[in-house]
Amino acid sequence: MALPKSGLLGTLYNWIGRSCYADNVYLRKALVYDFRLYKTALTDEQVMSSVLNVETTIPALNLASTETPNALPSVTDSPYKVTTSIGVINILGLTGNEKVSVFDVAGRQLQMIQPTLINVNAGVYIVRIDGYLTKVVVR
């Protein structure tokens, strides 16, 4: 889709997270973590540390992308059940002795007050209960 404006040039394909070609599988499973527009070009320093914080963000994203349900047994093979509702991750079957961790797609661990009912923003999360793992989508 093009948005022509008199006297200005532009591109025809301004898509984020997918190819402009229907049969191209490149970016087929893309997950856009962040998208920003700036009025000016950023300096190397702004990209690396102050504005985008690339030095810490990229390693955290790489770590998060390696966390797959295949790395540990799935929560479905455990006595626990993880469900979601709008803005909430519910964990059923906890006895109180389990170590529960929740990570966002950037690899950041969320702080929890109560591990059975975790309030979160919409997004994709990795839930780890002791030696079990699952990914959940929260709306």
pLDDT tens figures, 2-46: 556 777 776 767 777 777 777 777 776 677 777 788 888 888 888
Q: What is the CATH classification number for the domain harbouring 88? A: 2.60.40
pLDDT recorded at residue 71: 62
Task: Using a cut of 0.85, tell me whether the model's pTM lies above it.
Answer: no
State the DSSP H helix or E strand holding residue 129, giving kind and residue range, or none if neither.
strand 123-129
Please tell me the total count of domains within the chain: 1
- Is 40 among the domain residues? yes
Sheet of 117-119: strands edge to edge? 81-85, 88-92, 117-119
> Which residues constitute the domain of residue 113?
23-139
| Residue located via tokens 């030696």 | 131
Tell me, yes or no, whether 88 lies in a domain. Answer: yes
